[in-house]
Amino acid sequence: MTKQTCKTCEKEFEIRDADLVFYEQVKTTPPLYCPDCRMARRLVFRNERTFYKRPCDLCQKDMITVYSPESPFTVYCHDCWWNDSWNPKSFTMDYDLTKPFFEQYRELQVKVPRLGLMVLNNVRSDYTNGSAENKDCYLVFAADFNEECLYGRLLQRDKGCVDCAFLHESELCYECLDSRNCFKCMFCEQCQSSSDLLFCYNMRDSNNCIFCTNGRHLSNAILNVKYTKEEFEKKKAEILSSYESIEKAKKEFEELKTKTIRKFACQTKCNNITGDYLHNCHQGVMLYDTYDAKNCSYMTDTENPTDSQDCNNYYYKSEFCYNVMGSMQMSQVKNCAFGFYSNETEYCENCYNLTSAFGCTAIRKGEYMILNKQYSKEEYYKLRDKIEEQLRSDGTYGQFFPASLAPFGYNETLAHDFFPLTKEEAVKRGFTWQEKTTGTYGKETIKKGEIPNTIENMDDKILNEILVCEDCDKNYRIIKAELDFYKRMHLPLPHKDFECRHKERISKRNPRKLWHRQCMCEKENHGHEKNCQNEFETAYSLNRPEKVYCETCYQKEIY
């Protein structure tokens, strides 16, 4: 194991012996930046939720896009970008060995049209991004195969769910987080295979529960105590009677969670792995929100990865990749952003079905290409080796795209969500900053404190009103599908805009950081004397109030 000082944050980080073996296997150089700074450089290429309205640079029709009107890039709407009326290979550039590679790549990056939104096969779901196969959805992001879902991130195969995140195969859920196979659950976290839960945490195979935690096979329960069906319904109606009663219940729920025993990490069927929110992962360190991973490290929001490191939003059996932001079915790819069904590419963006390429953008099918120019196999490898030698000599080879090449301002991207910086800090680190933020202010027709506290007697006139967020003062509206949902679930209107609701929801999740701790169990009937001696890496910091248990003690206590 070696230690290195990060060139960005100047903090010391470790490079494991296993990492060095991986770098040798994929023929790259060790990183010059710590894992957090490496991830931030990738995430600044991903703007998910900051939308703008601007005309398509080809058909001139207005479109919704993640690129601001002031952006230097040429941007096409979805239909125009995929149209055969233009060819990305027409933007070829001859490589000049006397100039820096990234200077030439920037010239190509600005010229070649960019896709306004990353969407595929959506139906009546215009206001979504990073999404595919959705129907009648609105403001959902990184979402696939959903129907009638509103305001969410990382939703998969859900129906009729509103204000949820990291939700899978669920229906009619509201304000749920990290849950799966749930029906009519509200304000719940880490629940599975359950129905009609209200303010519950880590429940399994349960129904009709309120303020319950770590429960298994419970029914008609409040605070994990059995009640009659009538008592349950009375308590539920009391909580949902008004906005104020729900806000009071939120505070009670947060207090209840601090007293709830926690497993050191949300991991199932995992072996020799560190990280959080993991399922069926084996061999690796620092993984988050990852499923079915084998021999991977420093990964976030990934599914089915193999033998890869430092990748985000990396899906569907990609393998042997390094430093990738956004991909599907990739192999032997390094330092790329948004690559799909491609192999052996480096420093490429938004390319599809591309093989053996270096420094290309927007190519939809090709091989042996550099700066969008076609070469013979022999010419390609000869020139690529010269470019690699040039990058190695100036110390930039093997690192992700420089911050200056990021297509968005730092505050528009996921980087700002997970690694928040001030404008001054971001600029100091080489990132740009978006000065003109989206949204309107001061146009409200209903003032703060005047939003109705119940859904009773609410009619469609509210759809014509402009509301104001009680936190950030941004204006927002209620749409018809949203109002119908609130009426069906007997929920009051939200008093905050979507972005503030999203940030509040995500803040309830553990951070993507790890601390070394010891199990806090003191129960002698768990097979140890006095304190349990098991140690682990956990996302629960030392100053958190929860009792954090190792796997063994947690299983004995809960199951």
Cα separation of 371 and 127, whole Å?
Answer: 32
What is the distance between the alpha carbons of residues 368 and 377, in angstroms, rounded to a whole number? Answer: 6
Bridge partners, residue 186, by sequence: 174, 198
Q: What digits encode the pLDDT tens for the residues 155-210?
A: 999 999 999 999 999 999 999 999 999 999 999 999 999 999 999 999 999 999 99
Inter-CA distances, 419 with 328, 449, 543, Å: 25, 33, 20
Alpha helices (H) along 283-373? none
* One-letter identity of residue 341: Y
pLDDT at 506 over 90: yes
Give, in degrees to the nearest 5, the angle at Cα 236 between 230 and 241.
Answer: 125
Closest CA to 297 of 11, 7, 6, 13: 13
Least confident of 109-118, 211-220, 361-370, 525-534: 525-534
Backbone phi and psi for residue 506, each to the nearest 5 degrees, phi listed first? -65, -30
Give me the pLDDT at residue 317, please.
85
Q: Which residues contact 120 (CB under 8 A, 6 or more apart)?
A: 131, 132, 133
Query: From CA 24, how far away is CA 448, in angstroms rounded?
Result: 59
Query: What's the CA gap between 493 and 384, in Å, rounded?
Result: 58
Q: Which residues of 4-16 are buried (b: 16+ CB within 10 A; e: fewer)?
A: eebebbeeebeee
With left for phi above 0 and alpha for psi between -120 and 50, is residue 502 left, alpha or beta? alpha
Alpha carbon of 518 to those of 189, 258, 276: distances in Å? 25, 18, 17
pLDDT at 559 over 80: no
Average pLDDT, stretch 33-42? 95
The pair of structure tokens assigned to 173 is 């859920």
Q: In sequence order, what are the residues at sequence separation of 6 or more whose Cβ sits closer than 8 angstroms to the Cβ of residue 276?
A: 265, 266, 267, 288, 289, 510, 512, 514, 538, 539
Contacts with 84 (C-beta within 8 Å, 6 or more apart), sequence order: none
Tell me the mean pLDDT in the region 23-37. 94
- Whole-angstrom distance, CA of residue 327 vs CA of residue 496: 33
- What string of DSSP letters covers 192-250? EEEEEEES-BS-BS-EEEES-BS-BS-EEEETTEE--HHHHHHHHHHHTT-HHHHHHHH
Task: Name the DSSP class of 30.
Answer: P
pLDDT (tens digit, 9 = 90+) per residue, 539-553? 999 999 999 999 999
CA distance 18 to 2: 11
pLDDT tens-digit series, residues 295-324: 999 999 999 999 999 999 998 889 999 999
Instruction: Take residue 158 and report the two structure tokens written for it.
Output: 């859900």
pLDDT(213) > 80 = yes
The strand pairing partners of 198, in sequence order, are 186, 210
Q: Over the range 41-78, which residues count as b (16 or more CB within 10 Å of their CB) and which as e?
A: bbbbbbbbbbbbebebbbeeeebbbbbbeebeebbbbb
Q: What pLDDT is stored for residue 535 in this prediction?
A: 95
- Indicate the burial class of 259 (C-beta count within 10 angstroms; 0-12, 13-18, 19 or more): exposed
Q: Quick one: pLDDT at residue 33?
A: 95
- Give me the half-sphere count of Cα atoms (radius 13 Å) on the Cβ side of residue 298: 26
- Give me the pLDDT at residue 524, please: 80
- The single residue listed with the structure tokens 């080796």 is 385
How many other β-carbons are positioned within 10 Å of the β-carbon of residue 421?
17
pLDDT of residue 528: 83
User: 451 pLDDT exceeds 80?
Assistant: yes
- Alpha-carbon distances of 495 from 7, 246, 476, rounded to whole Å: 43, 12, 10
> 258: helix, coil or strand?
helix
Report d(CA 189, CA 255) in Å as an integer: 14
Quick check: 525 pLDDT over 80? no
Closest CA to 369 of 87, 53, 5: 87
Per mean pLDDT, which range of 172-186, 225-239, 521-535 is the poorest? Answer: 521-535
Q: What is the mean pLDDT of residues 124-130?
A: 92
Which residue type occupies 267?
Answer: Q
Residue 442, pLDDT score: 92
Map residue 2 onto helix, strand or coil: strand
For the stretch 344-373, pLDDT in tens is 999 999 999 999 999 999 999 999 999 999
- The pLDDT value recorded for residue 359 is 97
Paired residues of 518 in beta bridges: 535
What is d(CA 183, CA 306) in angstroms, rounded to the nearest whole number?
Answer: 33
Q: What is the pLDDT of residues 409-435, one digit of tens each?
A: 999 999 999 999 999 999 999 999 998
Closest alpha carbon to 119 in 157, 152, 175, 81: 81
The per-residue pLDDT of the chain, averaged, comes to 94
Residue 449: is its pLDDT beyond 90? no
The CA distance from 46 to 41, in Å, is: 10
Q: Residue 197 is encoded by which pair of tokens? A: 């839960």
- As a whole number of angstroms, the distance between CA 446 and CA 462 comes to 10
Taking only the tens place, the pLDDT of each residue in 1-26 is 788 999 999 999 999 999 999 999 99
Tokens of 292: 């079915």
- Burial of residue 428 (CB within 10 Å: 0-12, 13-18, 19+) is exposed
pLDDT at 76 over 80: yes
Q: What is the pLDDT of residue 526?
A: 79
Q: For the purposes of burial, counting CB atoms within 10 Å of the CB of 319, is it exposed (0-12), middle (13-18) or buried (19 or more)?
A: middle
Confidence of residue 557 (pLDDT cuts 50, 70, 90): confident
The percent of residues above 90 in pLDDT, for the chain, comes to: 92
Over residues 508-514, mean pLDDT: 95
The yes-or-no verdict on residue 527 having pLDDT over 80 is: no
Task: Determine what percent of the chain is predicted with pLDDT higher than 70.
Answer: 100
